[in-house]
Structure 1
Amino acid sequence: MNNTELKEQIQVDLNIGDQLTTISCGHIVNEMIKFIAYQRLQIPYTYQWLKQLVNKRKDSDCKIKESLQSERHFHVASTALSNLDFILKGLSKEIQGANLPEEICIALGATPVTCKEMYRLILPEVCHKPQCQSEHIANDQKIQRNVFRLLATSEELGKVFFESIAPTNMYIFIKKKVLNNQEVVCSDDFIFLRGYRVPNKCKVVNIDFKSKSNVKVTCCNNFDVFGDISEALDQMSIINDKKTFENCEFESTDDSKWFQSSYVMKGFKDCFVNGSSVTNSWT
């Protein structure tokens, strides 16, 4: 396969690896998936608004008088939300488990082998345990605020987001190292994946969480080795990367294995009747 045939690559260097606990890493990964789902029009509302709409519809008394379109749209929206929540819950469990994933991939397309876009979240080699939180580590809100400001204002990502993509399926893959006498994944929500090839014309966004510091960071070690918080966050960058895409094929080996989430989120559009969203009757 000729790697240079890939249509487009964007490299996002976050440089926040030594600022993350397992909890904050899980939070930012989940928020990034919600962000991508909304930005790429796989859900017509933000995650929080979707959840609020679905919960209000469940609690309302409109079920008897609602239209067929409204009933169908509720089924589509609630199913998508349920599957997305299962995905996020499974990822949080894996990230906070004993074996931190090396990489998490979000693929958008009808099938994994025909996906149109892929977002590769390259996680740090180690995250601090929750009890290691310290004044030397940025809090969740500060990290998320800086990361999503970077993503939302990037001209390079803006070019990707400018070209709309129709609602399709969202697939989640994780890569984990094999540890002695331990289960590779800690839940039944992931299926072993022997191999997977990224389509030639798939747009790929590589989001690297790893710190660019040369210091070997170990959880619970001396916090003096960590870089300055503001300096690390200021070093986040996004470039249009024309270099060869090294990992065009995902292959499970004796050292690392790939898994696919058993849950797939099916994207959907809003449903309008007489120019008004059917969700207006849910509130």
Structure 2
Amino acid sequence: MNSVSKNLKPVIVNLNIGDQLTSISCGHIVVEIIKFLVYQRLQIPYTYQWLKQVVTMKKNCENEDHKESFQSERHYHIASTTLENLDYILKSLLHEINGPSIPDEVCITLGGTPVTCKEVYRLILPTMCHKPQCHSSNIANDQKIQKSIFRTLVTSEMLGQVFFNMMAPTNMYVFIKKSTNNLELINNDNFVPVDGHRIPRSSRIVLIDFRTQNAKNLSCCNQFQIFGDIGNNLYDNAKKDNDETNDFNEIESTDKIKWYQSSYVMKGFRDCVVNGSSVTNMWLKS
């Protein structure tokens, strides 16, 4: 019984970067975190950059006159399909985050189905971001933010305990949560509405919270009154509402919020090793 109770308690990683982000940089960070997670959790056997490189090189050699082994061709089909679906997911997420209204949350589940997921990563996005054209001194560039974030992720002891447990390749499903005021902004070709479901009690849940404690740093972009605490109150109330309506053990639509699931599913895969060497080494030599 104690082990079940332990699993119900989410691992929380506070990034506190919301006041440093534009909507564009927020999208970039979400994308990089997903690339990090799929490699770290062994859903792809190489980093995203290396996967992209070897698949591209193999594709460019497809029309050349030389035979490949069945294992090599099969692995190329698996790797290229995984990369294509992952890229579609990342592209559609960027489209939604860079739109007029940032989703409240991006949720990544790893498992055979969303109902039987083994791990859940819930990215709680900022309630507000700087406008892309803003010149506030509080905005940090992508590279600086990424260094800070990944330093936090790799040095988190609690997250390290999650990563310590090996995970076999499985399916990755991606969800976004939006308030009912912004539903018309969803691209229904990329995300489809879902009623949602309870997360299994045995699932490991990780919360990665982007939100900031410094709402006043966003006043230049979000029509806050500079004097007084009105701006902070608006931000705090929005944050409180989001927390009160969010049971992190469920992904369920309500009257106030709606969940959408990505039309694309990424299937994880293992490396293909022949005679002690990855078949991708042959792609690089061809």
| CA positional deviation for 1:214 | 5.6
Supply the distance in 2 between the matched residues of 1:161 and 1:255 (Cα, whole angstroms): 34
| CA positional deviation for 1:215 | 3.9
Deviations 1:34-92 (Å, cap 9, x if unpaired)?
Answer: 00000000000000000000000011256741100000000000000000000000000
Supply the distance in 2 between the matched residues of 1:176 and 1:219 (Cα, whole angstroms): 24
* Larger mean Cα displacement after TM superposition, 187-196 or 165-174: 187-196
1:267 maps to amino acid: G
| CA positional deviation for 1:4 | 4.0
Supply the distance in 1 between the matched residues of 2:249 and 2:33 (Cα, whole angstroms): 22
Higher RCO (C-alpha 8 Å, min separation 6): 1
Please say if residues 103 and 175 of structure 1, whose CA atoms lie closer than 8 Å, have aligned partners that are also in contact.
yes
- 1:43 paired with 2:44, answer yes
1:58 maps to amino acid: K
Supply the distance in 1 between the matched residues of 2:66 and 2:262 (Cα, whole angstroms): 36
Alignment of 1:168-183 (within 5 A): 168-179=170-181, 183=184
Number of aligned positions between the proteins = 261
Supply the distance in 1 between the matched residues of 2:25 and 2:215 (Cα, whole angstroms): 22
Alignment of 1:1-283 (within 5 A): 4=5, 6-60=7-61, 64-179=66-181, 183-213=184-214, 215=216, 217-218=218-219, 220-221=221-222, 246-283=247-284
Please say if residues 178 and 257 of structure 1, whose CA atoms lie closer than 8 Å, have aligned partners that are also in contact.
yes
1:272 maps to amino acid: V
CA RMSD of aligned residues (A): 2.2
What's the secondary structure of 2:133's corresponding residue? helix
| CA positional deviation for 1:179 | 2.1
* Greater per-residue helix proportion: 2
| CA positional deviation for 1:187 | 4.5
* Larger mean Cα displacement after TM superposition, 270-279 or 212-221: 212-221
Please say if residues 21 and 133 of structure 1, whose CA atoms lie closer than 8 Å, have aligned partners that are also in contact.
no
Name structure 2 gaps, 5 residues minimum: 227-245
2:68 maps to amino acid: E
TM-score scaled by length of structure 2: 0.85
Supply the distance in 2 between the matched residues of 1:104 and 1:154 (Cα, whole angstroms): 21
Please say if residues 90 and 189 of structure 1, whose CA atoms lie closer than 8 Å, have aligned partners that are also in contact.
yes
Supply the distance in 2 between the matched residues of 1:268 and 1:221 (Cα, whole angstroms): 43
Going from structure 1 to structure 2, the CA distance change for 1:153 and 1:45 (only over 3 Å counts) comes to same
Please say if residues 13 and 209 of structure 1, whose CA atoms lie closer than 8 Å, have aligned partners that are also in contact.
yes
Q: Which residue of 1 aligns with 2:233?
A: none
Q: Which residue of 2 aligns with 1:242?
A: none
Supply the distance in 1 between the matched residues of 2:96 and 2:14 (Cα, whole angstroms): 23
Supply the distance in 2 between the matched residues of 1:217 and 1:136 (Cα, whole angstroms): 8
Moved over 4 A (4+): none
Supply the distance in 1 between the matched residues of 2:39 and 2:278 (Cα, whole angstroms): 17
Going from structure 1 to structure 2, the CA distance change for 1:253 and 1:219 (only over 3 Å counts) comes to farther
Supply the distance in 2 between the matched residues of 1:260 and 1:84 (Cα, whole angstroms): 14
TM-score scaled by length of structure 1: 0.86
Going from structure 1 to structure 2, the CA distance change for 1:203 and 1:136 (only over 3 Å counts) comes to same
What's the secondary structure of 1:171's corresponding residue? strand
